[in-house]
Amino acid sequence: MATARVNGVDLYYEETGQGFPLVWSHEFGGDHRSWEQQVRYFGRRYRVVTYNHRGYPPSEVPKDANAYSQDALIEDLHQLLRTLGIGQAHIAGCSMGANVALNFALAHPALTKSLVVVGGGAGTVGRETFVSRQGATAEALEREGMDALVRNFESSPTRRSFRLKDPRGWDEFVGYVREHSATACAHLVRGVMLRRPTVTQLEPRLRELRVPTLIVVGDEDEPCVEPSLMMRQIIPGAGLLVVPRTGHTVNLEEPGLFNLHVAEFLAAVEQNRWVP
């Protein structure tokens, strides 16, 4: 089991394949295993790196709520790349990980060859509803443990299509969710998801971003559709992929389609044909 001591915590990571580095940052409900179908596909041509954020075993689970912030997750990724000797990489993320990837690119554009943002920007629109629901989720996690988050996911419109399309994949996903730390997840909700900047707040910086960017969203991922359109309009040269009848985790729901489009995007970047 590979771990790296970065930014005051031990992070678990995995590397597969050889070639130019391609790094995947996972969502709130997932972990490094969420990217398995991408690892198997892209590991044939790239040095693929997946990792668990702080708070997700076997990465370290800090007890202090103050250890969980957007800036901490960004710096964790920065120091992980440095520890692995990676000077530049394709950076991709989903949901919470998409926001980490996006803000990493803003903080470290020279380290970011390209950027893939999947299901990003939740909380930008419908802010009051988002804050209320996320706060209730944190409280339920502390009262009831991970069962509360599983029930939340099972009733969420943004997760419904995954559960209906792929019952076997859904059961595997839920099994992984149950292994996570409820306390850490509550800290992540309050310290990261409720405090990270919205797309609107990032707009001036996003207009200056010159990193080739692919934005991916499912058309049933309502909280992320409008923010994805906003990012497409704001980021110079960004492209937008909207996947029909698909929810929040496009890479899990439609792995073949997702892998194909990301592979085409990466090839275009590497041939200097995706120019801001």
pLDDT tens per residue across span 33-66: 999 999 999 999 999 999 999 999 999 999 999 9
Please calculate the CA angle 196-209-8 and round it to the nearest 5 degrees. Answer: 45
> What interhelical angle do 146-155 and 167-178 show, nearest 10?
150
CB atoms within 10 A of CB 66: 9
137 pLDDT higher than 80: yes
pLDDT at 8: 97
1 pLDDT higher than 90: no
Which of 271, 250, 226 lies closest to 116 in space, CA to CA? 250
pLDDT at 197: 97
276 pLDDT higher than 80: no
The secondary structure of 132-192 as a DSSP string is HHHHHHHHHHHHHTHHHHHHHHHH-HHHHHHHHH-HHHHHHHHHHHHTS-HHHHHHHIIII
Per-residue confidence at 275, pLDDT binned at 50, 70, 90? confident
Record the tokens describing residue 200, joined without a space. 């609107």
Rounded CA gap, 154 and 118, in Å? Answer: 20
- CA 136, 138, 142, 148 dihedral sign is positive
pLDDT at 148: 97
pLDDT, the chain, mean: 97
pLDDT at 153: 97
Helix/strand/coil for 248: coil
pTM: 0.97
**Greater confidence, 44 or 1?**
44
Q: Is 265 left (phi over 0), alpha (psi -120 to 50) or beta?
A: alpha
Q: With contact defined as beta carbons under 8 Å apart, do 141 and 185 qualify?
A: yes
pLDDT at 245: 98
pLDDT at 73: 98
Mean pLDDT of the 126-153 span: 97
φ, ψ for residue 273 (rounded to 5)? Answer: -110, 5
83 pLDDT higher than 80: yes
Which of 218, 216, 270, 264 lies closest to 238 in space, CA to CA? 216
Residue 11 host element (H or E): strand 9-16
Domains of the chain by start residue, with CATH: 2-270 (3.40.50.1820)
What is the tens place of the pLDDT at every residue in 5-16? 999 999 999 999
- CA 105, 130, 33, 167 dihedral sign is negative
Mean pLDDT of the 153-165 span: 97
Record the tokens describing residue 195, joined without a space. 């405090």
Please enumerate in sequence order all residues whose Cβ is within 8 A of that of 243, keeping only pairs 6 or more positions apart, or say none: 216, 217, 218, 219, 250, 253, 254, 257, 258
96 pLDDT higher than 90: yes
Q: With contact defined as beta carbons under 8 Å apart, do 251 and 34 qualify?
A: yes
Percent of the chain with pLDDT over 90: 99
